[in-house]
Amino acid sequence: MKYLQRFTNIAVSVLFVGVCCQFGCSPQQPFYLTEKGKYQQHYIGKATKIDYPDVDVGSLPEVARTIPPLTLANPDPASIWDLKLEESVQMALKNSKVIRTLNGVGFSKGGVSGTPGTLLQSPNAVGTVYDPALIESDPRAGQEAALAAFDGQLTAAANWQKETSAAWNGFGTYGSPQQNIGNFSAGINKYASTGGQYYVTNGNRYSGTAPVQWLSYLEGGFTQPLLQGNGIEFNRIAGPGSTVGNYNGVVIARINTDTALVDFEMNTRNLVAAVETAYWNLYYAYHRLESVRSGLDAAYQTWLQTKIKADVGTVGGSAQYLAQAEHNYFTFRQQTEVAQSNLFKTENALRYIMGLTATDGRLIRPIDDPITAPIKLEWQSTFCEALLRSPELRKQKWNVKRYELELVAAKNFLMPQVDLNASYRISGAGKDLIDSNNRHNNAYGSMIYDDYSGWTVGLSAAMPFGWRKELAGVRNAQLYLAKSREVLREQELELSIQIADSFRDIDLSYQQIQTTLAGRRAANDEVLAVGAAYEAGKITLDQLLDAQKRQAEAETDYYSAVIDYNLAIMTLHYRKGSLLEYDNVCLTEGAWSPKAYFDAKRRARERDAGRYLNYGFTRPQNVSRGTYKQFQGTAASFDGTAASIVPLPQTAGQPVVPPAPKLIETQPIPTPVLPKETLRHIQPTRNNRYVEVQ
């Protein structure tokens, strides 16, 4: 038996060692006798997968009504929409809850490039009409949040408890009778604009087994800072209960709102500038198309004449001349195709910035004439107006004012914390809480008749050793203030460079109008003279073709100079802060809710019925100089004088610049016999006019 047990132990040991060698120390799956083999169906084989959000937001009608765009293969619009610049600005503002930009779109003499993409790439970086309201209604840093710190706070508590106490009498413990105890309290506390905290509290205690079952008290008191945290100015800047570097008073919250309003004004200005840029570039795209199309017509006629001469075998009909005429035709054809496609793209950019559908069957055609008359710019008044009206400078001045106020608040923390504390309490006790027949046997009765009262008055003080954090807060505020002031000075310097650059651009572009107009006339005369000389056999064909190219280029250069002149004027107004006034745009707040008007009337009646107290000794310093006047005339200086941009009459020595012609009716492109395909064309008419888009 002993040998059998020993053999069994050896066998078990060998089996155990074999199992360990087989499986090692790697993790093992458990073994189940009734496993069904369907364990994986309870789990998802992916920890993260791409889902689609369950969001139902209706699309804009402009998205739903989109039809195939105008292209070279589909160039015929259903109608032509004659549009004024004022109407385009109005529609853009009306359709811009989200303020669009043309970032990514480039306009040049050769055409337009790129497409808008800011909203898709960075949707949180664009401005909206909701931004000022979002800042003002911010529950953390908005005005209402700052004012809420001064709202009264109601606190109440009620609890019941059951007590059984134990005692030792020398022989053992014994339990006292059980007690049912109830505690009830309610109070109101409120911060004042001077930094003090006021409170009123009422408490009641019920003890079911005590001889006096009810204990009540009514206590009122306040804690008023005398040094640190004291004063209306500090509490308007930092708010009650603030700490070093954490300032969120009513004035700071209001500055946040004012800054948001300036941002909204700049976004609106950028929108109007983008509308003007797209509008005048579309005007240029039409005239560029007509210029190259006129060259195409002339090239076709030249090729046709050369082809006829080649057919009859006369002078000027050689294979060389025919090949030159054919190449010249296809060169103009290629330019015409590019110009027509650029016209469609430019019109699409204008549609986007106006908030319209990409294509609705109509083709927009600008009908306003650009400015071609010279203007006189008086430097001093224009620059002074820019210093006054530039929204970028106004925004930075709000930042300077913020840091000035924060420096005032930071210096307040350098004073010790000294508080005046005072309270007054009246108490009452009785078998009942309220009993009108016996005032001595109820808690409230004895409390009302002031049977038991007391008061406290005292001072509390606290101050740190070294003031490290407080001194760092003051130094930090001083540095921020110094930085903001230097930035403001540098911004004014940069603005002066921009205004001076605008002066040069306006002067250059106007001179370019004069020069390109003279070159346009010379090119027209050259084509007539060279054509006559070619017919007489005095010059070769290549000279005629070069003259036709120069004529088309001169036509394009003239309209490019006209558009540059108008955009330079727009840029000057943009930089000096008068673009919205220049385009007759005024920003105003929408109507409030009826409840707001009701509350305002009630507050006005309260003030009217009250008695005026002169509190000039506690009045904080001024923060704002008043409402900003949006419409100040085309120019204004510091003393309010106006009119610095005045049209000048042209002198006899200057070439007379005629008004820019209306958009030319496009004509079908003639096609020679040789090419197999023709370029589709636009035939706009002025019979279809649209005033507004629903």
Q: Over the stretch 581-636, which tens digit does the pLDDT of each residue have?
A: 888 888 887 777 788 888 888 888 887 887 766 555 555 567 777 777 777 765 43
User: What residues does 202 pair with on adjacent strands?
Assistant: 186, 218
Which amino acid, 239? G
Mean pLDDT, residues 436-440 taken together: 67
Going from the C-alpha of 642 to that of each of 633, 645, 648, the distances in angstroms are 6, 9, 17
Q: Which of 397, 392, 378 shows the shortest CA–CA distance to 641?
A: 378
Question: Is residue 418 pLDDT above 90, yes or no?
Answer: yes
Percent over 90 (pLDDT), the chain:
36
Token duo for residue 690: 């649209």
Give the distance from CA 451 to its chain's centroid.
65
Query: In whole angstroms, what is the distance from residue 77 CA to residue 95 CA?
Result: 24
Residue 543, pLDDT score: 85
Instruction: Indicate the pLDDT class of residue 392, thresholds 50, 70 and 90.
Output: very high
List of residues 6+ apart from 113 with CB closer than 8 A? 105, 106
Provide the mean pLDDT of the chain.
81
List of residues 6+ apart from 253 with CB closer than 8 A? 141, 142, 143, 145, 146
Residue 91, pLDDT score: 92
Residue 576, pLDDT score: 92
SS3 content of the chain, % helix, strand, coil (to 5): 50, 15, 35
Going from the C-alpha of 342 to that of each of 282, 287, 617, 623, 661, the distances in angstroms are 9, 12, 68, 51, 21
108 phi/psi in degrees, rounded to 5: -145, 175
| 3-state SS assignment for residue 630 | coil
Question: Is residue 399 pLDDT above 90, yes or no?
Answer: yes
| 3-state SS assignment for residue 681 | coil
C-beta neighbour count of 13 within 10 angstroms: 10
C-beta neighbour count of 34 within 10 angstroms: 4
Q: Over the stretch 5-14, which tens digit does the pLDDT of each residue have?
A: 665 666 666 6
Strand pairing class (417-430; 214-225): antiparallel
Residue 620, pLDDT score: 59
Instruction: Indicate the pLDDT class of residue 668, thresholds 50, 70 and 90.
Output: very low
Q: What are the domain boundaries of the chain?
A: 177-240+417-462
List of residues 6+ apart from 590 with CB closer than 8 A? none
Token duo for residue 62: 């402009």
**Continuous segment of H or E residues that includes residue 423:** strand 417-430
Query: In whole angstroms, what is the distance from residue 453 CA to residue 427 CA?
Result: 6
Q: Over the stretch 215-228, which tens digit does the pLDDT of each residue have?
A: 888 899 999 999 99
The answer to whether the CB of 188 falls within 8 A of the CB of 200 is: yes
Question: Is residue 39 pLDDT above 70, yes or no?
Answer: no
Mean pLDDT, residues 551-575 taken together: 93
The residue written with tokens 């989109």 in the block is 66
Percent over 70 (pLDDT), the chain:
80
The residue written with tokens 């001045």 in the block is 397
Looking at mean pLDDT, say which of 16-25, 151-160, 491-500, 522-531 comes out highest.
491-500
| 3-state SS assignment for residue 581 | helix
Residue 490, pLDDT score: 96
Question: Is residue 655 pLDDT above 70, yes or no?
Answer: no
List of residues 6+ apart from 453 with CB closer than 8 A? 424, 425, 426, 427
User: What residues does 225 pair with on adjacent strands?
Assistant: 419
Instruction: Indicate the pLDDT class of residue 644, thresholds 50, 70 and 90.
Output: very low
Q: Over the stretch 334-387, which tens digit does the pLDDT of each residue have?
A: 989 999 999 999 999 999 999 998 888 899 999 999 998 888 888 999 999 999
User: What residues does 206 pair with on adjacent strands?
Assistant: 182, 214
Question: Is residue 43 pLDDT above 80, yes or no?
Answer: no
Using left for φ > 0, alpha for ψ between -120 and 50, and beta otherwise, residue 340 falls in alpha
Residue 23, pLDDT score: 52
